[in-house]
């Protein structure tokens, strides 16, 4: 017999809501990114923090032209949904010795930012304007 049939309907609903809540909303994520991340990061260029262009699938600490901490350069982290969620939860715990001091403690906000980065953090195709530079 399936365990779900033994649970009261309210418990089943609560479990379903928790799963639905953990999924990220990229549209809300772009708003959160603008408020929480854009002071240091961009999906276009390096700033105070490294660019998030081509983030997904990239090994941490490898953006050309950015001065990373030794901890990030030495890490084996590859950015994906799970690693981004861990990073944003507590960067200092995830990669001790790194220098990012911002975290996103709210589970849904973190999921929304990660959902946005999963879309925006893909390598941007070259355009005629970028090829001329």
Q: Could you tell me the residue ranges of all domains in the chain?
A: 23-124
Asked whether residue 130 carries a pLDDT value surpassing 70, the answer given is no
Comparing 41 with 123, the larger pLDDT belongs to 41
Which long-range CB contacts under 8 A does 43-46 form with residues at least 24 apart? 43/120, 43/121, 43/124
> What topology does CATH give the domain 23-124?
Cytochrome Bc1 Complex; Chain D, domain 2 (1.10.760)
pTM for this predicted structure: 0.76
**Distance from C-alpha of 71 to C-alpha of 60, rounded to nearest angstrom:** 10
Give the model's pLDDT for residue 128: 53
pLDDT at 19: 43
Share of the chain above pLDDT 90, in %: 72
pLDDT of residue 49: 95
Q: Say how far apart CA 65 and CA 22 lie, in whole Å.
A: 35
| CA-CA-CA-CA torsion sign (123, 128, 130, 133) | positive
């Amino acid at each position: 017999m399936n365990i779900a049939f033994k649970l009261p309907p309210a418990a089943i609903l609560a479990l379903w809501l928790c799963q639905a809540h953990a999924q990220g909303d990229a549209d809300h994520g772009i708003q959160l990114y603008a408020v929480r991340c854009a002071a240091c990061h961009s999906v276009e260029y390096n700033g105070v923090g490294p660019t998030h262009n081509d983030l997904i699938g990239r090994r941490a600490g490898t953006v050309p032209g950015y001065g990373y901490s030794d901890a990030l350069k030495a890490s084996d982290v590859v950015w994906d949904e799970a690693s981004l969620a861990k990073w944003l939860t507590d960067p200092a715990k995830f990669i001790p010795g790194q220098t990012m001091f911002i975290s996103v403690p709210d589970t849904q906000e973190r999921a929304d930012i990660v959902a946005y980065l999963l879309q925006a953090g893909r390598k941007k195709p070259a355009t005629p304007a970028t090829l001329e530079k």
